[in-house]
Structure 1
Amino acid sequence: MSDAPLVPYQPSAAPAAYDPATLAVLAAMEQAAEEHLDAIRPHNTKRGYENDWNLWAEFHDWLAERTGHRIPLTAVTKGTLVGFVVWLDTVKLAAPASIDRRITGVTVTARSLGVEVSKDATVAARKALKPLKLDPDRIARGRGKAPAATPEQLRQMYAAAPAGLAGLRDRALWLMAFGIAGRSAEVSALRADGIKHVSEGLDVHVPSVKGRPARDVVVAYGKNPDTCPVRAWLTWKAAAGITSGPAFRPVSVHGHLGDDGLSPTGCQEIISRSAERAGVAVRLTGHSMRSGFITVARKAGKREEKIRAQSGHAANSPVFWGYIQEADRWVDAASDDIGL
């Protein structure tokens, strides 16, 4: 055996460039590999990645509202990916484990579209995520349903709303969301010309969003002016001078009205921020208006089919019946009036 010292192998020259035929074979094998991996990927994983990319698009909508400029979804960089983590944490209130999955979903989807996502970008995103994984309150997120809003909380929010055009918009937005039992995406999609004032209140056309069927609902005048969706809408509409186009729009710090509609995230932010400003004890979200309407309507004795027509739930929706059961907990309670 030779006693020559071991040294790393050093090629005498750089490898030759591949010829066109070899490149063609390699490209075909790359494509075949992608198709094979996609074919064996579980359906739930694919659906999860699709949801992650939809959230990435929603983040870009939010970003465009604040910067006045839209960047392409394919711009998966260190800055945008870290911004996505912060947005998921502070706006969507996502749990750290969920954020971790979203990073993977966006990265995998972007690469499948031919986007080169640098390792620096994913490392930075997970570095931003690391301290969130140590926060018990953040870890506990997502373990319960959004609290249902109550008329009392809506009155608190009304009293704490800011002055000016933004305050009028905020009041109209959350009361309309409550009145139509609407999802944030549905509130975002409302059109001024789809909201008709009639003697009894409002005829509201709720557009189709995310493949769900559109519906037409009625919103009656409220007995309390502070929680009346009809009065709030008419006041906002007159002050903003809106006759057509998006029903709810951005208002700048100087009171200037935007032309585009608020995004679903923008609508959610307004509701959560308004509740926080009013000192509401629980954190209300966009879904709190929807669940709140169903709960309050049921406690007021409204028929199930009427409530479902307002909210757009299917007759066999387990979510809807969960709300009904919650509202009925104290109706003829088994422990009530049994001689104790």
Structure 2
Amino acid sequence: MTALVPRQPDAAPAVYDAATLAVLAAMEEAADRHLDAIRPHNTKRGYANDWALWEEFHDWLAERTGHRMPSTAATRGNLVGFVVWLDTIKLAAPNSIDRRITGVTVTARGLGVEVPKAATVAARQALKPLKNDPERMARGRGKAAAVTPEQLRQMNAAVADGLTGLRDRALWLMAFGIAGRSAEVAALRTDAIVHVSNGLDVHVPAVKGRPPRDVVVAYGKNADTCPVRAWLTWRAAAGITAGPAFLPIDTWGHMGNRALSAEACREIIARNAERAGVTVRLTGHSMRAGFITTSRKAGKREEKIRAQSGHAENSPAFWGYIREADKWTDAASEDIGL
């Protein structure tokens, strides 16, 4: 029988001389470099994306509170708020949210931030009921629905009155007209949208490492869905001649002077589509997808469409949109004697 040995009191912390401390510090740095080197590239890229979303969440909070908290504030309240934001604003799938929590936590600790265990526990407690919701679990399993001209007219018929409505209509029609990503729409500058006889010359700035491009947006035949008329009406009503193209407007109709965020642009599109009773869920990317498929169905050439959207020649996403648009053009099952 093994003899029971009383537990010895904890030893006092070791005290090292300066030379030992220097070697230990060097070993710590070497360990960090080694662990970073062996971490898979996809994991590091995923963590970078997680942190970018964490930064976007803090930008979103700042728009609503008037104060930008440091991104290193990985507290219980912030992490739970991040989960709720990803669920209700980004409409992320619960498994994606779970990975985001890990990515943010690992990155924060890598920056020397102490992330309390209670914070990550609370975040996953907030996540637990979301994983029991089949509809939420099904999120992210399909690409964004491509908006149609009919749905744009439906949105126009239900747009809010006043300055906010003018901005919202100009925003979603501009997003459609330039085949723009939400981040590109948010980055547009008023003085880079030039009115010419045929419509608009628009400079789409570089965002997230993507190259800038210059596109033209022609007058539409339908005044309700014409991006040019919508932009000119909003610009005149807002009295803007320079600076961000699209600005926040509060409940009382007061206009801010900072550009809307990409997330705010997405929210505006989704909110207006829901108000209009559009039967599919439209997102910021729906305008981009909708332009490509609509333009293709109208017989526009591939290189012209790509120049507008900024897709690379070999982009799988672009060719997926083209295949969708061409699906019923000279269908293999059409006129074959059935």
Q: TM-score range by the shorter chain?
A: over 0.9
Give yes or no for the alignment of 1:329 onto 2:327. Answer: yes
Once residues 255 and 18 of structure 1 are traced to their aligned partners in structure 2, the CA distance between those partners, rounded to angstroms, is 64
Give yes or no for the alignment of 1:241 onto 2:239. Answer: yes
297, 300, 303: which one aligns with 1:299: 297
Give yes or no for the alignment of 1:253 onto 2:255. Answer: no
Could you list the per-position Cα deviations for residues 190-232 of structure 1 after superposition, in whole angstroms to 9, with x for gaps in the alignment? 0000001111111111011111111111111111111111111
> Structure 1 residue 34: deviation in Å?
1.1
Once residues 14 and 307 of structure 2 are traced to their aligned partners in structure 1, the CA distance between those partners, rounded to angstroms, is 70
Q: CA, structure 1 residues 45+333, in 2 after alignment: closer, same or farther (shift >3 Å)?
A: same
TM-score (norm: length of structure 1): 0.96
> Structure 1 residue 266: deviation in Å?
0.7
Code of the residue aligned with 2:9 in structure 1: it is Q
> Structure 1 residue 15: deviation in Å?
3.8
> Structure 1 residue 24: deviation in Å?
3.0
Once residues 140 and 17 of structure 2 are traced to their aligned partners in structure 1, the CA distance between those partners, rounded to angstroms, is 54
- Secondary structure in 1 matching 2:109: helix
- Residue in 1 aligned with 2:264? 266
Code of the residue aligned with 1:93 in structure 2: it is L
Once residues 333 and 161 of structure 2 are traced to their aligned partners in structure 1, the CA distance between those partners, rounded to angstroms, is 48
- Residue in 1 aligned with 2:227? 229
- Residue in 1 aligned with 2:215? 217
- Residue in 2 aligned with 1:136? 134
> Structure 1 residue 149: deviation in Å?
0.3
- Residue in 2 aligned with 1:10? 9
- Residue in 2 aligned with 1:30? 28
- Residue in 2 aligned with 1:320? 318
Once residues 130 and 33 of structure 1 are traced to their aligned partners in structure 2, the CA distance between those partners, rounded to angstroms, is 34
> Structure 1 residue 79: deviation in Å?
1.2
> Structure 1 residue 25: deviation in Å?
3.2
51, 55, 62: which one aligns with 2:49: 51
- Residue in 2 aligned with 1:102? 100
Could you list the per-position Cα deviations for residues 238-288 of structure 1 after superposition, in whole angstroms to 9, with x for gaps in the alignment? 111010000001001000110000011110010011101111101100000
Give the number of equivalent residue pairs: 338
- Secondary structure in 2 matching 1:94: coil
Once residues 25 and 264 of structure 2 are traced to their aligned partners in structure 1, the CA distance between those partners, rounded to angstroms, is 43
- Residue in 2 aligned with 1:200? 198
- Residue in 2 aligned with 1:289? 287
Code of the residue aligned with 2:225 in structure 1: it is T
The two structures, once aligned, show a CA RMSD in angstroms of: 1.5
Code of the residue aligned with 1:8 in structure 2: it is R
> Structure 1 residue 75: deviation in Å?
1.1
Could you list the per-position Cα deviations for residues 17-39 of structure 1 after superposition, in whole angstroms to 9, with x for gaps in the alignment? 44444433332222222111111
Identity of aligned residues (%): 78
> Structure 1 residue 2: deviation in Å?
9.8
TM-score (norm: length of structure 2): 0.96
Could you list the per-position Cα deviations for residues 53-79 of structure 1 after superposition, in whole angstroms to 9, with x for gaps in the alignment? 111111111111111111111111111
- Secondary structure in 1 matching 2:200: strand
Once residues 15 and 125 of structure 1 are traced to their aligned partners in structure 2, the CA distance between those partners, rounded to angstroms, is 34
Greater Cα shift, 76-85 or 179-188: 76-85
- Residue in 1 aligned with 2:86? 88
